[in-house]
Amino acid sequence: MSDRSVRSHEDVSSGRRKAVQFSVDIRKRDRLARLNRKRRITSDGLVEAVEPVTAPILENHFEHVERPHDIPHLNSVLGGDYDAVMKWLKENTLQSVSSAVRSLKYYSNQAGFALAFAADDVMVSMVLGHLHPGSTPQIDSNDIRDTLWVLTNVTCTSSAWPTQRLVQHGILSHIPTLLQHQDSKVADQA
């Protein structure tokens, strides 16, 4: 085997080892971050932190990502500022929540599973806060589909609890009705 092919093989092996180690480090930090988090459901259906939340995995991780300017507080969750995001979700309109859904979808495309444990609380809070059964929120069906996309493609890499929480509140079973309502409304307008 030539020196060139030996070096090439070593480079590939080294790259694989680094990738595996990075993945292991991510999972370890993810578990530690989850151990540091405690949650409760408030009367208005939003998830709040009982104790301050830290997210060490996200420190300096998104500096290369261009962040949307219209949702400054959502950016804070990427540094672990959980309370600021919960406050932002409560104070902003459905249009802003829709922007947040799309932003999380954008971030997930950029960073993959590294965002998962920061996104899950935010997404569950959005859905619980704005899609209560029996209500008819003014939210586009595409936004609901985006929400489901993030729930299934981002949070599933960290844990199953967001979907379980939504099932407990009867939200997932209500979403098809919401979609049907929105689709029929669009048809009536046409």
Encoded tokens for 170: 């009867």
Written as six digits, the tokens of 70 are 């219209």
The residue among 19, 31, 59 whose CA lies nearest residue 117 is 31
Q: Tokens 């988090």, residue?
A: 37
Residue 163: both structure tokens together: 């979907």
Rg, C-alpha atoms of the chain:
20
Q: Classify 170 in phi/psi space as left (phi over 0), alpha (psi -120 to 50) or beta.
A: left
pLDDT in tens for each of the 190 residues of the chain?
Answer: 454 444 444 544 555 555 555 555 555 555 555 544 444 444 444 444 443 333 333 333 333 333 333 333 344 444 444 454 445 444 543 344 445 455 544 444 444 333 344 444 445 445 444 444 344 444 444 545 555 544 444 433 334 444 444 444 444 444 444 444 444 544 555 5
Residue 25: per-residue pLDDT? 54
pLDDT for 17: 55
